[in-house]
Structure 1
Amino acid sequence: MLTTQRKQLILGRLKADGQIVAKTLSQELGLSEDTIRRDLRELAAEGLLQRVHGGALPASPTVVDLQARKQISQEAKAVLGKAAANLIQSGQVVLLDGGTTHVHLVRHLPADLKATFVTHSPTIAVELGEHTSCEVVLLGGRLFRHSMVAMGAATLEALSHIRPDLFFMGVTGVHAQEGLSTGDLEEAHLKRALSQRAAETIVLADSKKIGVASQYVIAPVRELGTLIVEKSLPEEVLSPFEGLGITLLRA
């Protein structure tokens, strides 16, 4: 079998099964695991999959710049944002991560909501500025332009004085076994720190983020309080998340 044929087979199997187990595939094709691993490395370098221990998972298509992310799954993000906004109660302190989905959350907040929002995203802060009944706390730090959020020691220092009720975390991948992930190492560390300050962490994930992985792990999925997903997702896609001790909210 030619290399190109093997790679097409791997991508086809990945799409059908949601994962590749290198040992199993090598036995099926009568090839060495080294050959399969080499194919996986090359496909990963092209951004076509994400290597994990023992094989590969689909790569998140959302590891792109902010402008590109604005064009992805707009209708789904609006639905998820509305469902998330309904979880916020007056008087709460809410930590909002950066991300295009969270823009939709802000746009669905009730006009009379009285809450305090803390964010390290200038984009989110501008959106929150329209809600005059809410307090807005903007955390400072070095601007990470890929996601348009502040990061670094200054961000963590400001965060250390706040205990949010809710943290809405932005991610690029949600996988039942491989956890929550994103495409930048420092951002992954910051998201974990933000999550550890909050009483509950919530993730909004459209279909393109479910069952996929990015390079840097934030935390296991079981550390979430709530995972908000599209109700149109088939049960077999969501079933791996059942029994993880989290609330699965279908929007």
Structure 2
Amino acid sequence: MLAAQRKDHLLDLLDRDGRVVAKTVADDLGVSEDAIRRDLRELADEGKLLRVYGGALPIPAPEPPVRERTALATASKERVAREAVATIRPDSTIILDAGTTTLAMARMLPSGTGLTVITASPAVALAAAEHSDARVIMIGGELSRHSLVTGGGLAMEAIQHLAADTFFLGATGIDPERGLTTGELDDAVTKRALASRCTSTVVLASEEKIGAVARYPVVALDAVTAIITDPTDANPLIAKVKGRIGA
């Protein structure tokens, strides 16, 4: 089989099965695994698939702008936000990630509990200031027009001088095998930096996040402290995801 035919076959498998396992395809076609890896690497360079350890996955759909995400699984996000707010201890310092679930959290924060809120999201900062008496600290930097969150070198410098009790982290995808992923590279870097400055990292998982996979990895599930899911969500993947926490 010619290389071009192998590539067509690999893309057909990806479309049919949702993944390609290099060793299995090599055995089926009677070619070396190195040849299949080379084909996958070239297809990835052409932007036709996403290379992962041992094979390939489809290219994840682009993450929609934040204005569109506000309409996704709104009720589920509200339930997750309520569960998360209930875990916040008085007099603690928390970091709220950018995102629609953390925005919902900011609107539910209690007053009179001595909270300090740190965030890179102007929307989250304004909501926290409007709906609670928490001390609000903004992380400076360049504002992304796609995610409406600050990032870049200035943000990274500021993060290195922070310390907090809990980081409430939002991710585009939460998968048992791929861990936490997001659609923007800079966002993934910022999330990892924030997690490194906190005693614990808690993942917020509304119903549309479980089982989803985006392009850029954030952290593995065994690197986080806990995951808060929608109490009404019966997705069987939730048990698998939670089983990886702290593993």
**Is 1:234–2:235 an aligned residue pair?**
yes
Q: Percent identity of the aligned residues? A: 32
| Paired letter, 2:137 | V
Q: Deviations over 1:53-79 (max 9, x none)?
A: 222346655722111211222121111
Instruction: Kindly indicate whether residue 25 of structure 2 is the aligned counterpart of residue 21 of structure 1.
Output: no
2 CA distance for matches of 1:212 and 1:26? Answer: 28
Contact 2:110 2:132 in 1 (8 A): no
What is the CA deviation profile of residues 122-165 of structure 1, one whole-angstrom value per residue up to 9, with x for unaligned ones? 01111112134211111111111211111123223333332100
Q: 1:33 aligned to 2:36? A: yes
SS in structure 2 of the partner of residue 233 of structure 1:
coil
Moved more, 180-189 or 196-205: 180-189
Matched, 1:153 2:153: yes
Alignment TM-score, normalising by the size of structure 1: 0.79
2:59, 2:91 → 1: CA distance? Answer: 39
Which amino acid in structure 2 is aligned with residue 123 of structure 1? A
AA matched with 2:246: G
Residues 1:129 and 2:133 aligned together: no
Change (3 A) 1:59 1:114: farther
* Whole-Å separation in 2 of the counterparts to 1:123 and 1:228: 22
Quote the offset at 1:200 in angstroms.
0.5
Post-superposition offset of 1:96: 0.9
Structure 1 residue 209: Cα displacement: 2.5
SS at 1:68's partner residue? helix
Aligned position for 1:201 = 201
Q: In the aligned structure 2, how far is the partner of 1:39 from the partner of 1:8?
A: 16
Secondary structure of 2:131's partner?
coil
State whether structure 2 residue 178 is matched by structure 1 residue 178: yes
What letter is aligned with 1:159? I
Secondary structure of the structure 1 residue equivalent to 2:164: coil
* Residues 58 and 235 of structure 1: CA distance in aligned 2, closer, same or farther (over 3 Å): farther
2:98 matched residue in structure 1: 98
Unaligned runs of 5+ in 2: none
Q: For residues 239 and 205 of structure 1, what CA distance do their matches in structure 2 show?
A: 13
* Greater mean deviation of Cα atoms: 236-245 or 62-71: 236-245
Q: Which residue of 2 aligns with 1:10?
A: 14
Secondary structure, counterpart of 1:11 in structure 2:
helix
Q: By how many angstroms is 1:120 displaced?
A: 1.1
Number of equivalenced pairs: 239
Of the structure 1 ranges 195-204 and 143-152, higher mean CA displacement relative to structure 2 is found in 143-152
Specify every segment of 5 or more residues in structure 1 that has no aligned partner in the other structure, as ranges. 247-251
Q: What is the aligned partner in structure 1 of residue 225 from structure 2?
A: 225
1:26 and 1:36 in contact (8 A); partners too: no
Tell which structure's C-alpha radius of gyration is larger: 2
- The letter for the 1-side match of 2:139 is L
Seen in structure 2, the aligned counterparts of structure 1 residues 4 and 108 have a Cα distance that, compared at 3 Å, is farther
Paired AA for residue 125 in structure 2: A
Do the aligned partners of 2:41 and 2:51 also contact (CA within 8 Å) in 1?
A: no
Cα RMSD for the two superposed structures: 3.1
Q: 1:197 and 1:71, CA in 2 relative to 1: closer, same or farther beyond 3 A?
A: same
Q: How far apart are the structure 1 equivalents of 2:22 and 2:155?
A: 41
Query: CA 1:245–1:38 in structure 2 vs 1: closer, same or farther (change >3 Å)?
Result: closer
Aligned AA (1:143): L
